[in-house]
Amino acid sequence: MRKSKGVENLLKEIITENFPKLEKDINISVQESLRPLSRFNPNKTTPRHIIIKLSKVKDKKRILKTVTERSK
């Protein structure tokens, strides 16, 4: 279950599932990650956002470039 995993593991899992070539090219180093607090609302079924700060700016640029190319 995803809830038992850390945020960094969740990021790596998402990248591996959706962008396998990107995962092989870069070694993602997460500096800080968190999920913002939200009030408990049983009617809300959407997951909370994830905020991640990467150690290297070039990794961030590569991820964003890959995502924008895929969405075209």
pLDDT of residue 2: 44
Q: Are strands 30-34 and 51-54 parallel, antiparallel or unpaired?
A: antiparallel
Token reading at 53: 């700060």
The average confidence (pLDDT) of the chain is 78
At residue 44, what is the residue type? K
Tens digit of pLDDT for each residue in 9-30? 888 888 888 888 877 777 777 8
- Top pLDDT among 57 and 30 is at 57
**Continuous H helices in 1-72:** 7-18, 20-25, 57-71
